[in-house]
Amino acid sequence: MANKKTIIALACCVFLLGSCGFKDIDKRLFVVAIGFDQSKTSYDKLLIHLKIAIPKGDPRSINQEFDVVTVESKTIAEALRRAKSMVDKELDYGHTKILVVGEKIARTNIKQIADWSSRRRDVQLIAVLTVGKPSALDVIKLKPRTERVPGNAIFLALTKDGTESPFINPEYVFDFNRRLTEVGMDPYLPIIQVNKDKYDISTVALLNKEKVVMTLNPDESRLFNLLRGKEKMRTNLTVRTDSNTYELNIDHTSAKYSIESGNGRTTIKYAIKLRGALEEKVSVEETSYRQQKEIEAAGEEALNKQVEALLRKFQDHHVDPLGFGLHYYARHWNNQTKTEQWKKIYDNVKFEANSNIKLKYSEFIM
Amino acid sequence: MVENKYFYYLLALNALINIINFVPRILIVNRFHGAIMSILISVVVGSCVLYGVTKLYSRFPGEGLPEILQTIRFPLVAKSILFTFGCFWFSAGAITLVSFVDITNRYIIPDLSPTWILSGFLIIVCLSSRLNTNSILYGLEMLVLLNIPVILYFLVKTLISRSFSWDAVMQVGTYLFEKPNLESVAAATFIFSGYTNLSIFNRVFGKIRLRHFWIVAVFGLSVLLTTFFIPIGYHGTQGVENHFYPWFSTADSIRIELFIIERSLYFFYFIYITLALVSSITHWHVSLQLFQGMLYQKKRRTGVYVSWFIIAAFTCASYSLLSLDQEQLQVVGIGFLESRFVVELMFPALLLYVLHRRSSYGK
């Protein structure tokens, strides 16, 4: 009896193998990145660029070879099917980890792409989403000399698996889609600025529920990274006193906020803690302990001002990338009215930053 | 007779498999309309029914439902009860299988047709559900114990991740005082209904003693809260509704930075394929035994051909479920959860009636 069963089971397995639509790995092409640009000829059409990696047998050899297939179409789905007839093997999106949106589209409507990326099952929800400047194609075509696998450089940078830059604010597809739908929290995207064959990811685009409404310069991006309080962050901090300019090496940061209302006015209070050491002085002279305290105080004051200015900028543009709204909703029980209430509050909310900088050492050379 | 601990594996199985049987989906759809209150109610209702029915079963040591129901005066009534219950257990297994075919097709092998995937699953489930009751319990123990550490790893990983939004969880938490609804209560009690498998498995248990019963209630509550809140923490209070299998999307949102496979979805899938299959095997085993009990009420011995015939019927019915689309499958799933809940609430009355008859007429 047992023998019979095994035979039947094996026979069925053979059937399964023969009839499924499975393609062997040497009959597949792996798309590592997809770029989206606006068509130059027609306003409502997209240019979709597929970056296809060309695999090599030897894993130790450096392989930067890739091919880019570009299709013009109104929809992404159509473009991917059209691309199938431009290549020899089956296109596989299981390794698509980078989605680049051209700046033009990001400034008009990003919803279509965001929805597609979460709906399409083989595009991972942990793929990274970025804005390409001046266009997505520039990012797709990028070939940094340090890269070992096509498309890997940008992925390493954007996930912080590789470089840990304080200017990079990583964004994944699942998080972007959450922010796009969430009430009281707005999305952001890191911008990759391409200059010939070099790139720089130090600016951030802030979006409302539809498109980019403002961009942050590198300083603001770093502050934004600090204020999100999500990442482990190592950065420098420039402090100017009357007599000298100092650079601090910050190796520990934390940022928390609370929303407090009183006297008819609501205040968002940020508590920021920075721990670090003195790294550089512009004019080299000895620093006493008293001066060290002065540096801390000057740094705190400057940081408070910068933070408050940045938060006011968010407020002026009616965006909420830090999720103050959600924070407010999470702590108020009047479910019918709180959304309307917050909209009114956020327009004239006051910001108060309270930073605390502590230098562990200033004078000793390690 | 097997030890008491196997009873807890049966409970754990239902608690773990709930994420495939539409439980989180139903709770999440109702998240602003009383899901949390329903969870709290279902913990009370579910654990009370669990406790009561298990106590009642311990009055029938070594007897399954077909034997217990022989006391009923009208065989036709007993047979129709067994038939209905058999159908319930069949649909429990079939819904798990069909939704898992859908999941496999979506996330793992989009190229393969659902019919073939289901065929692969059916070979395992059909062959195994004919095993004897003890072997199924031993297999169940093995799989549950192997999978629990990995599931715990996932839970810890999701909760300590920086992407987890506690604000979103608390925002949904402010909807605590909404009116609960039947749909959510029925869905949430599903995680407690592992005990219903006693209708056959009671044959191999002696007297079940429930020690530290409060642990079951606490475990149930924490399972429900994680089932409900973790997808919300990952996909936001609004976005979570767009995901049909919220837990698989959540698994897809977790990156394992330092391992061979970065996409944790594959691990998650691997754990849940074993759980889904063993759950279907258990349910179909119960169903098969109930149908056999219906056909051969006097003797427990059954013909081999009859059991194959029943399994063939199961297979055909499963294939026909494949033709349903996502929305219809969800309607079937919700229908199953609700009707199961109602029947479960009435079930103690049946057992009490049988007990009453036995005590008044002697055995």
Q: Which pLDDT does position A21 carry in this prediction?
A: 62
- Buried b vs exposed e over A36-45: b needs ≥16 C-beta within 10 Å? bbbeeeeeeb
DSSP 3-state assignment of A193?
strand
Nearest chain A residue to B128, by CA: A5
Which burial class, exposed, middle or buried, applies to B273 when counting CB atoms under 10 A from its CB (0-12, 13-18, 19+)? middle
Smallest Cα distance from B84 to chain A, Å: 30
Nearest chain B residue to A323, by CA: B167
Q: Which pLDDT does position B362 carry in this prediction?
A: 60
Q: Which pLDDT does position A7 carry in this prediction?
A: 66
- Give the closest residue to B168 by CA, choosing from B252, B238, B245: B238
Alpha-carbon distances, residue A212 vs A32, A190, A312 (angstroms): 25, 11, 18
- Measured between alpha carbons, how far apart are the two ends of chain A, in Å? 77
B311 touches B225 (CB < 8 A): no
Contacting residues of B for A332, CB less than 8 Å apart: 174
- Give the closest residue to B291 by CA, choosing from B315, B275, B307, B271: B307
* Minimum-distance CB partner of A174 among B167, B237, B253: B253
Contacting residues of B for A4, CB less than 8 Å apart: none
CB contact under 8 A, A323 and B111: no
B103 touches B248 (CB < 8 A): yes
* Cβ of residue A18 closer than 8 Å to a chain B Cβ: no
Q: Which pLDDT does position A318 carry in this prediction?
A: 92
CB contact under 8 A, A332 and B174: yes
Block residue for tokens 């420039």:
A238
**A240-280 per-position pLDDT tens digit:** 888 889 888 898 899 999 999 887 889 999 999 999 888 88
pLDDT at residue A109 above 90? Answer: no
Q: What percent of chain B clears pLDDT 70, i.e. is strictly above it?
A: 97
Residue B200 CA to residue B63 CA, distance in Å, equals 8
Alpha-carbon distances, residue A65 vs A30, A352, B38 (angstroms): 12, 51, 56
> Residue B153: CB partners within 8 Å, gap ≥ 6?
none
Nearest chain B residue to A11, by CA: B123
Confidence band of B221 (pLDDT split at 50, 70, 90): very high
Contacting residues of B for A21, CB less than 8 Å apart: 111-113
- Give the closest residue to A83 by CA, choosing from A72, A98, A99, A94: A72
A36 pairs with which residues across the strands?
Answer: A48, A101
What letter does residue B201 receive in the DSSP assignment?
A: H
Contacting residues of A for B235, CB less than 8 Å apart: 174, 177-178
B155 touches B226 (CB < 8 A): yes
Contacting residues of A for B119, CB less than 8 Å apart: 12, 16
Contacting residues of A for B114, CB less than 8 Å apart: none
Other CB atoms within a 10 A radius of the CB of residue A349 amount to 19
**A7-64 per-position pLDDT tens digit:** 666 666 555 555 556 678 888 889 999 999 999 888 889 999 999 998 777 767 777 7
Residue A67 CA to residue A52 CA, distance in Å, equals 5
DSSP 3-state assignment of A30?
strand
**Rg of chain B on CA atoms, in Å:** 20
**A144-185 per-position pLDDT tens digit:** 888 888 888 899 999 888 888 999 999 999 999 999 999 889
pLDDT at residue B125 above 80? Answer: yes
Mutate to test the interface with A, among B109, B163, B165, B241 (most CBs of A within 10 A): B165
Question: Which pair of structure tokens corresponds to residue B284?
Answer: 């179909």
Q: Which pLDDT does position A25 carry in this prediction?
A: 80
Block residue for tokens 């597609």:
A116
CB contact under 8 A, B249 and A125: yes
CB contact under 8 A, A182 and B249: no
Residue B2 backbone phi and psi in degrees, to 5: -110, 170
CB contact under 8 A, B127 and A122: no
Smallest Cα distance from B165 to chain A, Å: 10
**Order of strands across the sheet with A245-262?**
A235-240, A245-262, A265-281, A350-359
Mutate to test the interface with B, among A27, A125, A173, A326 (most CBs of B within 10 A): A125
Q: Which pLDDT does position A168 carry in this prediction?
A: 92
Q: Which pLDDT does position A315 carry in this prediction?
A: 93
B150 touches B267 (CB < 8 A): yes
CB contact under 8 A, B112 and A183: no
B208 touches B53 (CB < 8 A): no
Other CB atoms within a 10 A radius of the CB of residue A112 amount to 14
Q: Are strands A28-38 and A46-53 parallel, antiparallel or unpaired?
A: antiparallel
* Minimum-distance CB partner of B238 among A23, A118, A182: A182
Average pLDDT of chain B, as a whole number: 89
How many CB pairs below 8 A link A and B?
109
CB contact under 8 A, B111 and A20: yes
Question: Which pair of structure tokens corresponds to residue B73?
Answer: 């005066």
CB contact under 8 A, B174 and A329: yes
- The one-letter code for the residue type at A190 is P
Question: Which pair of structure tokens corresponds to residue B233?
Answer: 């923490």
Residue A44 CA to residue A147 CA, distance in Å, equals 35
- The one-letter code for the residue type at B138 is Y
B167 pairs with which residues across the strands?
Answer: none
Q: Are strands A198-207 and A212-216 parallel, antiparallel or unpaired?
A: antiparallel
What letter does residue A210 receive in the DSSP assignment?
A: S
Number of H helices, E strands in chain A: 11, 13
DSSP 3-state assignment of B30?
coil
DSSP letter string, A245-306: EEEEEEEEEEEEEEEEEETTEEEEEEEEEEEEEEEEESS-----HHHHHHHHHHHHHHHHHH
* Cβ of residue A328 closer than 8 Å to a chain B Cβ: no
Question: What residues in chain B have their Cβ under 8 A from chain A's Cβ atoms?
Answer: 32, 106-107, 109-113, 116, 119-120, 123, 127, 162-163, 165-171, 173-175, 177, 234-239, 242, 249, 252-255, 257, 262-263, 265
Residue A102 CA to residue B360 CA, distance in Å, equals 82
Average pLDDT (B215-224) is: 93
Q: Which pLDDT does position A42 carry in this prediction?
A: 85
* Cβ of residue A156 closer than 8 Å to a chain B Cβ: no
Q: Are strands A90-92 and A98-102 parallel, antiparallel or unpaired?
A: unpaired
Contacting residues of A for B127, CB less than 8 Å apart: 5, 9
Residue B102 CA to residue A5 CA, distance in Å, equals 27
pLDDT at residue A5 above 70? Answer: no
- Measured between alpha carbons, how far apart are the two ends of chain B, in Å? 22
Residue B43 CA to residue A134 CA, distance in Å, equals 56
Other CB atoms within a 10 A radius of the CB of residue B270 amount to 13
Average pLDDT (B269-282) is: 93
* Cβ of residue A331 closer than 8 Å to a chain B Cβ: yes
